Amino acid sequence: MTEEFNPQGAENLVAMPSLRDATRTAGAAIANQFAQWGKVTDVKAFGSGNINDTFLVTLDSSEEQHFVLQRINTQVFRQPKLIMENMRTFTEHVHKRLQHIPLNRRWEVPRVLLTKDAQDHWRDADGSFWRAISFIEGSQSFDTMRGSHAKEIGYALGMFHNLISDLPSEKLADTLQGFHITPLYLQHYEEVLAKTSVRKSAEVNYCLQFVSDRQTFAHILENAKAEGKLPLRLMHGDPKINNVMFDTATQQAVSIIDLDTVKPGLVHYDIGDCLRSGCNPAGEETENWESIYFDTDLCQGIVKGYLSVAKAFLTENDYAYIYDAIRLIAFELGLRFFADYLAGNIYFKVKHPEHNLARAIAQFKLTQSIESQETQIRNIIKDMK
Ligand code: GN1
Ligand code: MG
């Protein structure tokens, strides 16, 4: 695993309230750098991201009243300038595509906002990397799933893939090496395990056993990629449900946000991530593990919405690996949380020391539920292709 991918020493912002306040104050000062069309009247923490610090900025403007300000976690994204370059290439391409596809519904792409000096980011005195993007006005996102949103979430991911399906993968840089390469997460986990004296508990033992039982399975998508069964394409990287924006009036999906991990990869990572996130009604953060299950009705809705716009570019092999992708990405996220717990919570922000352990168990319970419904899930995919 590369150093780039294993951010030793990342700050744990949430566990340090004073630093959080300082960050917020800094946020207000930085917002002014990007506020070209009005005066900043409010800056507040926004969303529930696990990596970057995100703020919603309000302006006293009659045009756009909000924008999103973010401090990129450069312990994770070591080359933040690449993210901004990718975002610009992506946005330009999609805007052109949208001019040629007749769409009878609202679909928007967040824009990169420039500083008063026409730069796409701002470095503050501490060297922190800040950037601003437009807010999709009149829209909202949801941390937990609603049945009526299933088709729309699938549509949003399908639309996203559709709009970049003709953008060659080499046009975008790799902003996060090793991201979603499960065998590398496994290797990292084994390295952490080898140098950690693990405090054993029933929860820890459950996780250790769970990972140990799925060593071979961890290679399934990477093997398919190496054998040429699944092509390298562009992906979103993080299409979880709260990255889909819904029009507040129509409740239709209108955008997918969080474009930092748009880069070459497999569309299967996205399909798997969208389904592991969207079909878990209890959500990622619950500690009531017995309540966790994979909801096949939601799965049907999401797959239906996805295929309504994605059928054109999917191959037979693509369909054959969808079930494995769902199972793998749930397992992989559990593995990432568990490894981070063992490493001392250096990658994902946490609210308490056992937080990543609890998140890992939630994903492993979800994986178990996926495994126990393999036939039903495979049938849903088969019946809809
Ligand atoms: C992280 O920061 P956020 O919440 O957008 C993570 C995703 C995980 C997700 C789980 C760059 O995303 O891969 O699926 O947490 N992003 C990165 O909630 O590691
Ligand atoms: Mg993200």
Q: Residue 237 CA: which ligand 1 atom is closest? A: 13
Residue identifier of the C-alpha nearest atom 13 of ligand 1: 238
Statement: residue 7 has pLDDT above 90: no
Is residue 7 lining ligand 1, measured as CB closer than 6 Å?
Answer: no
Which protein residue's CA is at the shortest distance from atom 9 of ligand 1?
A: 50
Is there an atom of ligand 1 within 6 Å of 258 CB?
yes
- Model confidence at 13: pLDDT above 50: no
- Spatial contact of 74 and 129, defined as CB atoms under 8 Å apart: yes
CATH, domain range 24-136: 3.30.200.20
Name every residue whose Cβ is closer than 8 Å to that of residue 104 and which is 6 or more positions away in sequence: none
- What pLDDT is attached to residue 23? 63
Q: Is 228 left (phi over 0), alpha (psi -120 to 50) or beta?
A: left
For position 17, what pLDDT does the model report?
40
Domain ranges of the chain: 24-136, 147-384
Cα 101 to ligand 1 centroid, rounded to whole Å: 31
C-alpha–C-alpha distance, residues 341 and 356, integer Å? 5
| Cβ of residue 49 lying under 6 Å from some atom of ligand 1 | yes
Please work out whether the CB of residue 274 comes within 6 Å of at least one atom of ligand 1. Answer: no
- What does CATH list as the number for 147-384? 3.90.1200.10
pLDDT of residue 151 exceeding 90: yes
Kindly list the distances between the CA atom of residue 125 and the CA atoms of 30, 107, 130, in Å, as whole numbers in the listed order. Answer: 10, 37, 11
Structure tokens at 108: 């928007």
Identify the residue whose C-alpha is closest to ligand 1 atom 7. 238
**Protein residue with least CA distance to atom 4, ligand 1:** 49
pLDDT in tens, 92-115: 999 999 999 888 899 999 999 999
Distance CA 20, CA 288 (A): 28
Closest residue by Cα to residue 307 from 324, 327, 322: 322
* pTM for this predicted structure: 0.93
pLDDT band of residue 199 (cuts 50, 70, 90) is confident
Q: Which is it for strands 139-140 and 244-247: parallel, antiparallel or unpaired?
A: antiparallel
C-beta neighbour count of 353 within 10 angstroms: 12
Cβ–ligand 1 contact at 239 (below 6 Å): no
* Ligand 1 in reach of 50 Cβ (< 6 A): yes
Tell me the C-alpha distance between 287 and 330, whole Å: 16
Rg (CA), the chain: 20
Tokens of 157: 């991911």
Comparing 29-38, 245-254, 286-295, the range with the smallest average pLDDT is 29-38
User: Which tens digit of pLDDT belongs to each residue from 205-238?
Assistant: 999 999 999 999 999 999 999 999 999 999 999 9
What ligand is nearest to the CA atom of residue 176?
1
Non-local CB neighbours of 189 within 8 Å, separated by 6+ positions: 211, 335, 338, 339, 342
pLDDT surpasses 90 at 373: yes
- Compute the C-alpha angle 96/99/104, nearest 5°: 135
Is there a contact between 313 and 234 (Cβ–Cβ < 8 Å)? Answer: no
pLDDT in tens, 274-330: 999 999 999 999 999 999 999 999 999 999 999 999 999 999 999 999 999 999 999
Nearest ligand for residue 50 CA: 1
- DSSP string for 142-205: -SS--GGGHHHHHHHHHHHHHHHTTS-GGGS--SSTTTT-HHHHHHHHHHHHHT------HHHH
Classify residue 79 by its DSSP letter: -
Whether ligand 1 lies within 6 angstroms of the CB of 302 is answered as no
284: Cβ below 6 Å to ligand 1? yes
Question: What's the gap in Å between 278 CA and the centre of ligand 1?
Answer: 14
In whole angstroms, what is the distance from residue 232 CA to residue 164 CA? 13
Average pLDDT over residues 119-134: 95
Residues 23-40 have a mean pLDDT of 84
Question: DSSP 3-state helix, strand, coil percentages of the chain (rounded to 5)?
Answer: 50, 10, 40
Distance between CA atoms of residues 327 and 369, nearest Å:
9
Euclidean distance between CA atoms 214 and 377, whole angstroms: 19
Q: How far apart are CA 329 and CA 364, in angstroms?
A: 10
List the residue whose alpha carbon is closest to atom 14 of ligand 1: 238
Give the position, in ligand 1's atom list, of the atom nearest the Cα of 176: 11
Expressed in angstroms and rounded, the spacing between residue 50 Cα and the centre of ligand 1 is 6
Ligand 2 centroid–CA 379 distance in Å is 30
Does position 119 have pLDDT exceeding 90, yes or no? yes
